[in-house]
Homo-oligomer: A and B are copies of this chain.
């Protein structure tokens, strides 16, 4: 087929209620449309400084090295692990779902020795601080403990505070995947002793996908600086990136300016609402969504006390099959909800209530449609 013949692409109208991407505020879409300026423009530098300052507020950190990686969430994961793990390092990875497994895979590709720490039934179960303590006793020289805060694949919320304290006490760096949590549920980078924390722009921050906010503690920066061998990646190497982001303004790569416009505006919206108010909104509306799903015969997948309000992961009612209903929601109502990943395919639904998507009207719209589609 010849490209010249394709018509203009018009995206269909969608209500995004999968766990990312989430709905994007019109203010943020409007920002994307602004004219492009150069990556070395003084105004770009000023905007980057503002974005990084706002990200510090959102991450609840004073880390100097805080910036958006020029890639999607997985790029953030790779940037985090590539910089701190050297070949032969031991990395403990708390396995709670597909994205924790991805952390383990990327750590292994960094030639680290990966030690999986898994709770009872595996996916969907939180790992306790005692388990981590036990694993650290077996691997006292572990370089890093890696955990996913909010597992997009299972809806599990992994408690982090006690594990952070352990890491401070025993020495390993604490690397946290906050792709699905930042801006949606409480996260305290400094307060919980997290050394590297990364996220994605398209989840609870409600910007389009393409950036991965990340922050490195001084300890984490030191781990990069003191490496024997440079990281394999130049694109994700935080040393030259820090020179671009810092006062030196030394060229590293061409920052994706339009995506940065969008993130700048999305962060303004987040901070206008306020972090605590935002957490409360997600908590309340997520609980309402789950209650409504339980009324319809769905059962929450993660155990009580460890459920994410922004990723409601539920097992399907007895006898219900995944695809016809989910296909009808998308095809007839334009509503996207997600099925299960990996071993959960066909068994669960994942309803995302993130950022702009986390709204009572959206819950009502989804439930009305579901009641027409479900048997």
User: By the criterion CB–CB under 8 Å, are A105 and B47 in contact?
Assistant: no
User: By the criterion CB–CB under 8 Å, are A234 and B106 in contact?
Assistant: yes
> Which one of B40, B253, B262 contacts A72 once the chains associate, using CB atoms below 8 Å?
B253
**Does A286 sit at the interface, judged by CB under 8 A?**
no
> Which one of B253, B258, B265 contacts A73 once the chains associate, using CB atoms below 8 Å?
B253
User: By the criterion CB–CB under 8 Å, are A234 and B3 in contact?
Assistant: no
**Does A37 sit at the interface, judged by CB under 8 A?**
yes
User: By the criterion CB–CB under 8 Å, are A36 and B16 in contact?
Assistant: yes
- Determine how close the nearest CB of chain B comes to the CB of A110; give it in whole angstroms: 7
**Does A230 sit at the interface, judged by CB under 8 A?**
yes
Alpha-carbon gap, A34 to B230, bound state (A): 40
Interface residues of A in 1-54 (CB under 8 A from B): 1-4, 6, 8-14, 16, 18, 20-21, 23-24, 29-43, 47, 50, 53-54
User: By the criterion CB–CB under 8 Å, are A32 and B258 in contact?
Assistant: yes
Q: Indicate whether A29 sits within 8 Å of B35 (C-beta atoms), given known contacts A71-B70, A259-B259.
A: yes
- Please give, as numbers and ranges, the residues of chain B lying within 8 Å of A47 by CB-CB distance: 9
Q: Indicate whether A21 sits within 8 Å of B73 (C-beta atoms), given known contacts A2-B57, A34-B11, A109-B233.
A: no
- Please give, as numbers and ranges, the residues of chain B lying within 8 Å of A254 by CB-CB distance: 20-21, 72-74, 200, 202, 209
Q: Indicate whether A234 sits within 8 Å of B105 (C-beta atoms), given known contacts A4-B271, A253-B72, A257-B209.
A: yes
**Does A155 sit at the interface, judged by CB under 8 A?**
no
User: By the criterion CB–CB under 8 Å, are A102 and B232 in contact?
Assistant: no
Alpha-carbon gap, A56 to B14, bound state (A): 30
User: By the criterion CB–CB under 8 Å, are B258 and A6 in contact?
Assistant: no
- Determine how close the nearest CB of chain B comes to the CB of A49; give it in whole angstroms: 9
Q: Indicate whether A57 sits within 8 Å of B4 (C-beta atoms), given known contacts A30-B33, A34-B10.
A: yes
**Does A248 sit at the interface, judged by CB under 8 A?**
no
User: By the criterion CB–CB under 8 Å, are B3 and A56 in contact?
Assistant: yes
Q: Indicate whether A75 sits within 8 Å of B200 (C-beta atoms), given known contacts A32-B258, A259-B258.
A: no
Best-surrounded residue of A8, A36, A75, A234 (most CB of chain B within 10 A): A36
User: By the criterion CB–CB under 8 Å, are B53 and A3 in contact?
Assistant: yes
User: By the criterion CB–CB under 8 Å, are B43 and A35 in contact?
Assistant: no
Interface residues of A in 211-268 (CB under 8 A from B): 230-235, 251-259, 261-262, 264-265, 267-268
- Please give, as numbers and ranges, the residues of chain B lying within 8 Å of A210 by CB-CB distance: 70, 210, 256, 258-259
- Please give, as numbers and ranges, the residues of chain B lying within 8 Å of A34 by CB-CB distance: 10-11, 29
Alpha-carbon gap, A53 to B55, bound state (A): 38
Chain B residue at minimal CB-CB distance from A44: B11
Chain B residue at minimal CB-CB distance from A17: B38
> Which one of B24, B57, B231 contacts A36 once the chains associate, using CB atoms below 8 Å?
B24
User: By the criterion CB–CB under 8 Å, are B14 and A35 in contact?
Assistant: yes
Alpha-carbon gap, A200 to B257, bound state (A): 14
Give 6 new A-B contacts, CB below 8 A, not counting A12-B43, A75-B253. A1-B53, A2-B57, A4-B57, A9-B50, A13-B35, A70-B75
Q: Please list 13 pairs of residues, one from A and one from B, whose beta carbons are closer than 8 Å in the complex, sorted by A's number.
A: A3-B50, A11-B34, A11-B261, A13-B35, A24-B36, A29-B36, A37-B336, A42-B330, A73-B254, A78-B234, A209-B254, A251-B341, A258-B258
